[in-house]
A and B are shown apart, each in its own frame.
Chain A
Amino acid sequence: MSFLGPLPLTLFAYIAAGAAVLAIGAYIIKMRRRRFEVPFSQLWKRVLEQKDANALWKQLRRLMSLLFILLILGLVMFAALDPTLGAVSRKARSVVILVDASASMKAMDGDKAGKQARLDVAKDRAKALVDSMGGGDLAMVMKVDGQATPMSRFSSDGPMLDKIVDNIVASDTPADLPRALGAAADALRDRPNPLIVLVSDGAFPEAQLGMVKWGAEKAGTGSGSGSKDLATIDLTGIDVRYLPVGMRSDNVGITAFNVRRYIANKASYEVFIEIQNFGTEPAHRTLTLSNGDTPISAGTKIDLAPGERIRKIYEKLPAGDGQLRAALRPVDGAGGSDPFALDDTAFALLPARKKQKVLMVTEDNLFLEGAVLVFDDVEQFKAKPAEYAAKPSLADGMDVVIFDDYTPDALPPAPANLLFFHPTGPHSPIAVHGETRDPHITEVDVGHPTMRWLTLSDIYMDKSGVFAPDAKLGESTIATSVTDPIIAAKRDGKRKILAVGFSLPSDGRDSATDLPLRVAFPMFIVNTLDWFAGDQADLLTTYATGKRERIPLDGVVGATEAEVKGPDGSITHTPVIDGLATFYGSRVGYYDVVAKGPDGHVMSQIQLAANLASATESDIAPSAVLSLGGKKLEKPEAFAITHSQKLWIYLVLLAGALILLEWITYHRRITV
């Protein structure tokens, strides 16, 4: 017999002795009895004298009560020791079962009919493994996808582990095997007979498989004495086994899908798509490309030789709503379909692009009007300040309103973006707290979209208003003269506002600047209108699942967290540091990332697309044999069966029965 209790036996003995002393003490200490007055105790005396003839039996009955309690106590303490009948095998193992839940495990080749996924087979194998464990074996279940997630602690509770295995769901990410092996090795450290069982299709990059080390390197044979490769997974002393799943290898998938707008012609864009046949037979598909609900390319027939990879570029496509989707459709006949559907669809985003309606509230400023005309996607409107003041509704329906040396009493309603030159007074969109003479632009936020490709250091101006941007209101400084902010930006929900502290030259104005005479001015106007339109040439909106990316959030100041709404509608939160949000996509599709200010207003909102985009993961060919660090992994052996029998439940039941018996005998006045 062995004891598997959580406490050392010596400590347990002390606890048991203490409990016994308490029980005996309670037996010895006289119970305070209820007082009851009787009219004639003489009668009771006579009765008790007769009863005292049985005093020995009476003592014995009380003693029996004590013995009952001590026996119950003993049984409970004994049960707490977790006694086990039969010797626990010294070969009892500590097992980490790594269940591959990467995207390739969604391949529907678990059975020949194609109705069962690989993951289902993997779960069955994992459960069979759990069910075959012996009495002393302990197992932990860990899910392997883009992350390594322990699903349980080490336990011998088969049904519980089975339930945990059943709840595993495959994600749309490649597997990060080194991370999982590292986590498993850490969990098994200092445990007896450590064993890792990998239940997978073996679709891992060679680089990952080579990161394993099986023993301490001899001195001098490493890259340098005393150096250690932190990326290496040390599995010294750990037995690693492999349970392969999966049958088919034929798959055609989209391995890359991207879109970009032409810098020279923002009204059109081009699409890049890469498709590969991972099978050993020729494959045929139909490629469909659509922009929202508008088909761009419908039904392009694609024929792929075994292992062939093709790249297609769709050029000069007209602008649309921006949600691009590429889909491979199966065709009839041999090689017309495959069991892995996840990589048959890819998503991309094109920032919305449309002709902007621009209202210029100005007294005929040719510099400004000329610069706006440079922009090819603009529909111009013009109003004099007096006209606008009389009829603010002129701004209704406008995408951009430019106020030239004029500050209206009330801002045009959102979502119109606003560009101010020399705003003044209390109605300035960004507070103005003074004026500076002969300013020089000394510092520029080069990361801001409006400042791309600009040089403003030698710009001359007579004077400029000085802003007091408030970060809490989403305001930021774009350009300063020494310490005075003279160009500032603001995010007001989805609307953007840019304010320039100085005015453009015009008839009747006493201030002057040479900015309109520089190349920088039309660039500045174009950049500003691009920024207003949300079109950033260097912004990538398509990412691969299973990788952490840093996403710039325009105009986010002070926010520490962003809300991410996934393709399945689930909402998670991700940290934001220095305006960069961490993005991790576990599902393919479109994501919405929203950063909110402390008061709840939306500071920035961006849409992203996530694709599998992994040739390794799309190569679903199962590996019947897997080698880690040059060592071939064997299938797990049968667990050593131990015929141990847990006794605690029977002891607790017996203690319960004794408590019941004691209760009955007490109330029947047998043991009192």
Chain B
Amino acid sequence: MVATAKAATRAPKASANRAADRSALFDERFLKTLEHLHMVARKVFAGNLRAERRTRKVGSGIEFADHRTYARGDDFRYIDWNLYGRLDKLLLRLFEEEEDLHIYILIDVSDSMAIGQPLPKLHYAMQVGAALTYVGLANLDRVAIIPFSDRLIGRMPPSRGKNRIFRVFDFLRNVELGGKTELAECMKQFVAQNKRRGLAVVISDFYDPEGFEQGINTLRYHKFEPFVLQVYDQREAAPKLAGDLALVDCETGDTREVTVSKSLLEAYEAEHEKYCKELEAYCTKYAMPFFRTHTSIPFDELVLKIFRSGGFLR
């Protein structure tokens, strides 16, 4: 037990170093895993370019949407002659126009994300983010990646096409790390900078002392469709600690002296679970997709099974 605690004491620094080393995050096998997936959007958003997404606009798509009364100047080709034969009215067939989707991948790169086994939560989040980005790019959606901690840290502008994926990798490899988690402030900045609505995938541990609600609400209020993915480490949920310790918050530096006993550990585990449940309940309440995963679940399994079974990918 002592040895475990010692290893745990050394863990944060080692994790930070490991988190900083992102050279081997994305390899060929990683790409092949994702190729045949594409994302399913729950909502339909307006876009500028034709793509594979339905929009509320009626235009030159192939999916029938509605009829309306013919007006002068309308294209004769869209007059529904069958209805004219039955109703003796000129009605125009309306089609849903297919447009591209804006997907925003918001990745938490705060200090708390540097912790994790067998790989740091940050790496795990980046891999998931990159995977979702690839799927979006492959489906001709516009995907932007926005890292954040206590502010938005850089931004990869919306891109289209699979060939952009390497830029995504480079961006993720070089993004600046660290800082505190301030979800509300970051989401506020995000909605201010991105007027184009779309899917906002937030990948984070949601360890925000101010709470997660305000940040997510900001997205909701500005008509983004939030997709919440909580990443945690099992050792955070059930730490193996014992004895007299000084617990230091890796983001705020707050120190608490505790004597860790079995009952205290059990109380902590219950508290952690409660926190996660609160997040899940909140998302469910507002019909937001929510996934919770820990770093011990293999990446393949998360993407290929959990996302698909949850209806997020098909």
**Measuring CB to CB, which residues of chain A are less than 8 angstroms from any residue of chain B?**
31, 33-48, 50-51, 669, 672
Q: Are A33 and B272 in contact (CB under 8 A)?
A: no
Chain A residues near B233: list those with CB within 8 A: 39
In the complex, what distance in Å separates the CA atom of A461 from the CA atom of B111?
117
Interface residue from A36, A41, A45, A669 paired with B259 (Cβ < 8 Å): A669
Contact in complex: B243, A34 (CB < 8 Å): yes
Q: Can you name the residue of chain A whose Cβ is closest to the Cβ of B121?
A: A39
Contact status A40-B256, CB under 8 Å: no
Residues of B within 8 A of A31 (CB): 244
Closest to A31 in B: B244
**B247 & A42 in contact (Cβ 8 Å cutoff):** no
Quick check: A33 and B245 within 8 Å, CB to CB?
Answer: yes
Q: Complex: how many Å from CA A652 to CA B264? A: 35
Residues of A within 8 A of B115 (CB): 37, 39
List chain B residues, Cβ under 8 A from A34: 5-6, 9, 243-246
Q: 10 closest Cβ contacts across the A-B interface?
A: A669-B261, A37-B12, A41-B249, A40-B207, A39-B112, A33-B246, A37-B250, A47-B267, A33-B244, A672-B259
Q: List 6 A-B contacts (CB under 8 A).
A: A37-B12, A40-B207, A41-B247, A42-B207, A43-B271, A47-B268
Residues of chain A within 8 A (CB-CB) of B260 are: 669
Which residue of A40, A41, A50, A51 has the most chain B CB atoms within 10 A of its CB atom? A40
Partner of B246, one of A36, A45, A48: A36
Distance between Cα atoms of A368 and B260 in the complex (Å): 110
Known: A38-B250, A39-B112, A50-B267. A33 touches B261 (CB 8 A): no
- Which of these, A40, A41, A46, A47, contacts B205 with CB under 8 Å? A40
In the complex, the chain B residue whose C-beta lies closest to that of A62 is B259
> Which residues of chain B from 233 to 259 have any CB-CB distance to chain A below 8 Å in the complex?
233, 236, 239, 241, 243-252, 254-259
How long is the Cα–Cα vector from A121 to B113 in the complex, in angstroms? Answer: 89
In the complex, number of A-B residue pairs with CB atoms less than 8 Å apart: 94
Beyond the given A34-B245, A37-B9, A46-B271, please list 7 additional residue pairs across the A-B interface where CB-CB is below 8 A.
A33-B246, A37-B13, A38-B239, A38-B250, A39-B207, A43-B271, A672-B259
User: Nearest CB to that of A45 among chain B residues?
Assistant: B256
Query: For A47, what are the chain B residues with a Cβ–Cβ distance below 8 Å?
Result: 264, 267-268, 271
B1 to chain A minimum Cβ distance, whole angstroms, is 10
- Residues from chain A with Cβ under 8 Å of B12 in the complex: 37
With a CB–CB cut-off of 8 A, which chain B residues contact A38? 236, 239, 247-250
Across the interface, do B271 and A33 meet the contact criterion of CB distance under 8 Å? no
Mark contacts of B92-114 with chain A using CB atoms, 8 A cut-off: 1 yes-contact digit, 0 otherwise.
00000000000000000001110
B8 lies within 8 A of chain A by Cβ: yes
Closest Cβ of chain B to A26, distance in Å, is 14
Q: Which residue of A lies closest to B261 (CB)?
A: A669
What distance in Å separates the Cβ of B241 from its nearest Cβ neighbour in chain A?
Answer: 7
Give the residue of B11, B209, B245, B248 whose beta carbon is less than 8 angstroms from that of A42: B209
Q: Is B164 an interface residue (CB 8 A)?
A: no
A40 and B271 within 8 A (CB)? no
Beyond A39-B115, A42-B209, A43-B268, whether A669 also contacts B247 by CB under 8 A is no
CA distance A5 to B259 in the complex (A): 41
Tell whether B262 is near chain A: CB-to-CB under 8 Å. Answer: yes
Contact A44:B207 (CB < 8 A) given known A35-B248, A36-B246, A38-B248: no
Name A51's contact: one of B9, B247, B264 (CB within 8 Å).
B264
CB < 8 Å neighbour of A39 from B205, B255, B258: B205
Residues on the A chain within 8 Å of B13, using CB: 37
Nearest CB in chain B: distance from A167 CB, A: 51
Q: How far is the CA of A53 from the CA of B245 in the complex (A)?
A: 20
A40 and B9 contact, CB distance less than 8 A: no
**What is the CB-to-nearest-CB distance from A202 to chain B, in angstroms, rounded to a whole number?**
72
Contact A35 to B245, CB < 8 A, known contacts A40-B236, A669-B259, A672-B261: yes
Centre residue among A38, A41, A42, A46 by max chain B CB count within 10 A: A38
Contact in complex: B267, A36 (CB < 8 Å): no
Complex interface: chain B residues within 8 A of A43 (CB): 268, 271-272, 275
Q: Is the CB of B245 within 8 A of A36?
A: yes
Quick one: which of A47, A48, A50 has the most chain B CB within 10 A? Answer: A47
Contact partner of B258 among A44, A46, A50, CB < 8 A? Answer: A44
From B266, which residue of chain A is reached at the shortest CB distance?
A47
The CA-CA distance from A575 to B9 in the complex, in Å, is: 71
B181 to chain A, nearest CB (A): 9
Cβ contacts under 8 Å, A40 to chain B: 112, 205, 207, 209, 236, 249, 251
Please state if A48 and B271 are interface contacts (CB–CB under 8 Å). no
CB <8 Å contact, B250 and A39: yes
Closest to B275 in A: A43
* Given A42-B207, A669-B259, A672-B259, A35-B246 contact (CB < 8 Å): yes
CB distance from B62 to the nearest CB of A (A): 50
- Beta-carbon contact of A44 and B250 below 8 Å: no
Contact with A along B1-42 (1 / 0, CB 8 A): 000011011011100000000000000000000000000000
Which residues of B lie under 8 Å from residue A39 when comparing CB positions?
111-113, 115, 205, 207, 233, 236, 249-251
Residue in A closest to B248 when the chains form the complex, CB atoms: A37
Structural contact, B250 and A36, CB atoms closer than 8 A = no
How many whole Å from A34's CB to the nearest CB in chain B?
5
